[in-house]
Chain A
């Protein structure tokens, strides 16, 4: 059994018993990346040199000796963090994100080579990366999902033990579903955003990619918690997430929203997800149909609020202090050319859309209205959670699509986020775990959503499901 194919909890046990060494583990991961990444392209800026997996100072922390792969939008001091955008070419942050500091304190080994993503997290396929797309390990002609496609793919391909990414409208869960791994978006405010290069400040969260539920628990235990540097982080105690493992789910009430199972949805996805729900019923959960009546507006609300905040957050990329600067003799020219040449097409689309939504005369009709509909969407979930412990849906309307299939149709691309977006708008936690495969071998993801700060429910339910299914043990042939 290759070390790179194990989970973090398995490796921690072996490390603890001194059956393996940290150097050996790092070496195994490094070699795997070297063998596989030319096909998958989960990592960026490798340029023929080996991925940097340095076993630096190890301590007695809970993740001691475990390599963690990081999405290219999370700041690591002294190591390139570029959001896969030309405009941040060469940027080395002068500080660590809070989650990076926490991971280091727990003894984890931070890979200096970052994982691929859609530029500034704008996308659902990782095709918007300035470095080119990542390839789905289950079918290299297909996208891994996005925007954290690199993080999802490297865990699926065993090019990483565990990884972190970010989720603003589904950017962890959708690629997790497409790549057959476990992807968790925590409650808004559960994990510090300090050091996450912002896309939409009121929607972004850093989350986990793991091979199974237990690893997600371990990772969440480390990265969660109040941060005085992030005014939007919740000052709440972190429960011991591992207590959720091995629990039975008898009596757990699961709501199935009718708006997510519509006529004309992908039949295979529908069948597989319904089978998963049936399995949960066998395990003792109580299933009931519920309604989230404002679901239809979620994508529209997201593409106003998200793009508006993005247009603001990306205003700082102007060539003055860091990143790419276009040649210009006057300041105003420098701004226009730097941003015109530095941003990719999707980034431009979103900045323009967002700027428009905030501009004089349109603010009320777009931004303000979207803020109000957001309240309606949140209220929908509050109502359902009155009598349900959680909600289950498919993570994505289809399995992974082919590279290039949707890249010319921005709106089509946006609609693939339809199941994941609402959780960000409502600020609730959500997880995607593998629940089967379609005929052509591509994975399907099951999404579980629950009340704010109740991640333990996700772990409890997810782990019970995982224990009685084989999906998390299946690996792509690479």
Chain B
């Protein structure tokens, strides 16, 4: 029996408002425990919530960007459960009238694009943090009342890769909207996953597992892959899946069931009496739609159209708004019609340099002119070869100097004339008779080994194309 996985994702996004959702305490990260609190978020008796306008607007923004219907009438509800990080022992959330419903997010896997259906997005307040010690727990309530937007998909994801792509695209869009940092490490984006298996082609859903403690997109993908295996094994042994919540253990690479006994949760939802409802007019939605910037999908299509880039190249360039802006400046400045080089240099060498320098690509201080000049020097004028070009680029990033200056200083011009290369080429041919024999016997790629040797001899300055040409002539 072949089974197929069905996955649903629940993502909590912490909105980047200055103050909390129902009170005026700051939301800044890293404050000393219990210092960003007030009677409202502490749930002191007598205190009352009042909704932060910006949190509502951010929620609407995200809803529009995710192609949701923004509800005309929305309200809050109380969700009851007891836990020390939840001061009132109820969470103000949204139950049956969430602010956004029925949207979708496009995801591309293996060249195919498919919309993942989003069931709903709603606002709610965050809980505090617990630190567990030997025989007691410490409670820090700074985080209570932080504004969260919970985005829930339908069980409409069919592989761990799709889940990964969904999260990547979701993060990209939300960052574009500037409503959250979406940083899983800082907890401004959290994800729980639901997965079940069903016989291939069956319309019904199988018993699901809920997976928590996922701290990165990679963890989501790995945990889901693990669960598919686990479910498969159980089902193929003719056993039943237990519906339970499991925690992902990154180190061990497996999930474990949560220790506490799961009781059927009776949250006793009822409308929050302290918050009158909200009517969202069409005008308001239109107003917010206007301030939504060009989103990744549109920008990607535009880059493909205006700059002749491939889907793949364009997609990577528009991943964040900042990178897209950086790229666009350079794409526009590049005088040639064929702009693929710009994309390649940003997505390849510049990305590598950014990783080395531990910063974002758009934070690299290379002026548009210098960048364009460098590409020109390598690709069109062939003054330096690719390898040297990459090295110079790194120097440009570190020193801010122009490529011309660096080439002159380092005497790095590419050696392209045969006369200068003769000596090295001859030496390499003499030193590698076996490889020469390989070339002659029809292993054409062996020649690259010889090219590499010449590059080494010339500290990378030789023009590899010219070297290859000369070698071919001399050997064959």
A and B touch in the complex (CB under 8 A): yes
Please tell me if the beta carbons of B45 and A198 are within 8 angstroms of each other in the complex: yes
Would you give the shortest CB distance from A108 to chain B, in whole angstroms? 19
Q: Given contacts A315-B90, A358-B268, is CB(A195)–CB(B46) below 8 Å?
A: yes
Complex interface residues of chain B between 1 and 57 (CB less than 8 A to chain A): 39, 42-51
Identify the closest chain A residue to B82 (Cβ): A335
Please tell me if the beta carbons of B270 and A308 are within 8 angstroms of each other in the complex: yes
B87 at the A interface (CB under 8 A): yes
A452 at the B interface (CB under 8 A): no
Would you give the shortest CB distance from B215 to chain A, in whole angstroms? 25
Identify the closest chain B residue to A322 (Cβ): B44
Identify the closest chain B residue to A355 (Cβ): B268
User: Which one of A10-18, A22-30, A41-49, A91-99 is at the interface?
Assistant: A91-99
Cα distance A180–B82 in the bound complex, in angstroms? 44
Complex interface residues of chain A between 344 and 367 (CB less than 8 A to chain B): 355, 358-360, 363, 367
Identify the closest chain B residue to A361 (Cβ): B266
Would you give the shortest CB distance from B46 to chain A, in whole angstroms? 4
Please tell me if the beta carbons of A201 and B274 are within 8 angstroms of each other in the complex: yes
15 additional A-B residue pairs with CB within 8 Å, beyond A320-B87, A320-B139 = A88-B45, A194-B46, A194-B47, A195-B47, A197-B46, A229-B48, A231-B275, A309-B273, A312-B78, A318-B89, A321-B42, A321-B44, A331-B137, A358-B269, A363-B270
B84 at the A interface (CB under 8 A): yes
Would you give the shortest CB distance from A195 to chain B, in whole angstroms? 4
Cα distance A198–B273 in the bound complex, in angstroms? 11
Cα distance A438–B327 in the bound complex, in angstroms? 89
Please tell me if the beta carbons of A232 and B274 are within 8 angstroms of each other in the complex: yes
A202 at the B interface (CB under 8 A): yes
B88 at the A interface (CB under 8 A): yes
Please tell me if the beta carbons of B82 and A198 are within 8 angstroms of each other in the complex: no
A contact residues, range: 35 or more
Identify the closest chain A residue to B43 (Cβ): A316
- Among B42, B50, B268, the residue within 8 A (CB) of A359 is B268
Residues of A within 8 A of B51 (CB): 231
Cα distance A88–B44 in the bound complex, in angstroms? 11
Cα distance A103–B85 in the bound complex, in angstroms? 35
Residues of A within 8 A of B43 (CB): 316, 321
Please tell me if the beta carbons of A312 and B50 are within 8 angstroms of each other in the complex: no
B contact residues, range: 20 to 34
Please tell me if the beta carbons of A316 and B87 are within 8 angstroms of each other in the complex: yes
Residues of B within 8 A of A95 (CB): 39, 44, 47
Would you give the shortest CB distance from B21 to chain A, in whole angstroms? 13
Residues of A within 8 A of B82 (CB): 315, 318, 335
Would you give the shortest CB distance from B82 to chain A, in whole angstroms? 6
Interface of B is mostly: loop
- Among A93, A315, A335, the residue within 8 A (CB) of B80 is A315
Would you give the shortest CB distance from B93 to chain A, in whole angstroms? 13
Would you give the shortest CB distance from A270 to chain B, in whole angstroms? 36
Residues of B within 8 A of A308 (CB): 270
Residues of B within 8 A of A193 (CB): 46, 48
- Among B39, B48, B80, B266, the residue within 8 A (CB) of A231 is B48
Cα distance A193–B45 in the bound complex, in angstroms? 11
Identify the closest chain B residue to A194 (Cβ): B48
Cα distance A88–B46 in the bound complex, in angstroms? 13
Interface string of B88-128 (1 = CB under 8 A from A): 11100000000000000000000000000000000000000
- Among B80, B268, B276, the residue within 8 A (CB) of A232 is B276
Cα distance A202–B276 in the bound complex, in angstroms? 10
Q: List 25 A-B contacts (CB under 8 A).
A: A74-B46, A75-B46, A88-B45, A95-B39, A95-B44, A195-B46, A195-B47, A197-B45, A197-B46, A201-B273, A229-B50, A231-B48, A231-B275, A232-B48, A308-B270, A309-B273, A312-B270, A318-B84, A329-B135, A331-B84, A358-B80, A358-B268, A358-B270, A359-B268, A363-B268
Could you list which residues of chain B lie within 8 angstroms of chain A, going by C-beta atoms? 39, 42-51, 78, 80, 82, 84, 87-90, 135, 137, 139, 266, 268-270, 273-276
Residues of A within 8 A of B276 (CB): 231-232
A284 at the B interface (CB under 8 A): no
Q: Given contacts A201-B274, A228-B50, A229-B50, is CB(A316)–CB(B45) below 8 Å?
A: yes
Residues of B within 8 A of A360 (CB): 266, 268
Identify the closest chain A residue to B88 (Cβ): A316
A405 at the B interface (CB under 8 A): no
Cα distance A331–B130 in the bound complex, in angstroms? 13
Please tell me if the beta carbons of A315 and B88 are within 8 angstroms of each other in the complex: yes
Identify the closest chain A residue to B83 (Cβ): A331
Residues of A within 8 A of B89 (CB): 315-316, 318
Residues of B within 8 A of A240 (CB): none
A269 at the B interface (CB under 8 A): no
Residues of B within 8 A of A275 (CB): none
Residues of B within 8 A of A322 (CB): 44
Please tell me if the beta carbons of B78 and A231 are within 8 angstroms of each other in the complex: no
Cα distance A321–B43 in the bound complex, in angstroms? 9
Complex interface residues of chain A between 204 and 239 (CB less than 8 A to chain B): 228-232
Interface string of A307-350 (1 = CB under 8 A from B): 01100100111101110000001010001000000000000000
Please tell me if the beta carbons of B46 and A93 are within 8 angstroms of each other in the complex: yes
Please tell me if the beta carbons of B46 and A198 are within 8 angstroms of each other in the complex: yes
Cα distance A355–B51 in the bound complex, in angstroms? 26
Complex interface residues of chain A between 244 and 283 (CB less than 8 A to chain B): none
Interface string of A186-206 (1 = CB under 8 A from B): 000000011111101110000
Would you give the shortest CB distance from B88 to chain A, in whole angstroms? 5
Complex interface residues of chain A between 414 and 438 (CB less than 8 A to chain B): none
Residues of A within 8 A of B135 (CB): 329
Q: Given contacts A231-B276, A312-B78, A312-B90, is CB(A320)–CB(B84) below 8 Å?
A: yes
Identify the closest chain A residue to B38 (Cβ): A95
Residues of A within 8 A of B87 (CB): 316, 320-321
Cα distance A81–B39 in the bound complex, in angstroms? 14
Residues of B within 8 A of A321 (CB): 42-44, 87
Residues of B within 8 A of A200 (CB): 273
Would you give the shortest CB distance from A187 to chain B, in whole angstroms? 15
Cα distance A230–B275 in the bound complex, in angstroms? 9
Residues of A within 8 A of B44 (CB): 93-95, 321-322
Residues of B within 8 A of A318 (CB): 82, 84, 89
Would you give the shortest CB distance from B55 to chain A, in whole angstroms? 14
Q: Given contacts A231-B276, A312-B80, A316-B89, is CB(A367)–CB(B270) below 8 Å?
A: yes
Residues of A within 8 A of B42 (CB): 321
Residues of A within 8 A of B269 (CB): 358, 363
Residues of A within 8 A of B45 (CB): 75, 81, 83, 88, 91, 93, 197-198, 316-317
Residues of B within 8 A of A228 (CB): 50
Residues of B within 8 A of A329 (CB): 135
Identify the closest chain B residue to A204 (Cβ): B273
Q: Given contacts A228-B50, A315-B80, A331-B137, is CB(A94)–CB(B268) below 8 Å?
A: no
Please tell me if the beta carbons of B273 and A231 are within 8 angstroms of each other in the complex: no
Cα distance A318–B84 in the bound complex, in angstroms? 9
Please tell me if the beta carbons of A97 and B46 are within 8 angstroms of each other in the complex: yes
Cα distance A359–B267 in the bound complex, in angstroms? 8
Residues of B within 8 A of A317 (CB): 45
Cα distance A412–B78 in the bound complex, in angstroms? 32
Residues of B within 8 A of A81 (CB): 45
Please tell me if the beta carbons of A94 and B39 are within 8 angstroms of each other in the complex: yes
Cα distance A232–B274 in the bound complex, in angstroms? 6
Complex interface residues of chain A between 150 and 207 (CB less than 8 A to chain B): 193-198, 200-202
Residues of B within 8 A of A91 (CB): 45
Cα distance A331–B276 in the bound complex, in angstroms? 34
Please tell me if the beta carbons of B48 and A230 are within 8 angstroms of each other in the complex: yes
Cα distance A339–B330 in the bound complex, in angstroms? 66
Cα distance A308–B270 in the bound complex, in angstroms? 9
Which one of A196, A197, A316, A335 has the highest number of Cβ atoms from chain B below 10 Å of its Cβ? A316
Identify the closest chain B residue to A331 (Cβ): B84
Would you give the shortest CB distance from B221 to chain A, in whole angstroms? 35
Would you give the shortest CB distance from A321 to chain B, in whole angstroms? 7
Residues of A within 8 A of B48 (CB): 193-194, 229-232
Would you give the shortest CB distance from A322 to chain B, in whole angstroms? 7
Which one of A202, A231, A355, A363 has the highest number of Cβ atoms from chain B below 10 Å of its Cβ? A231
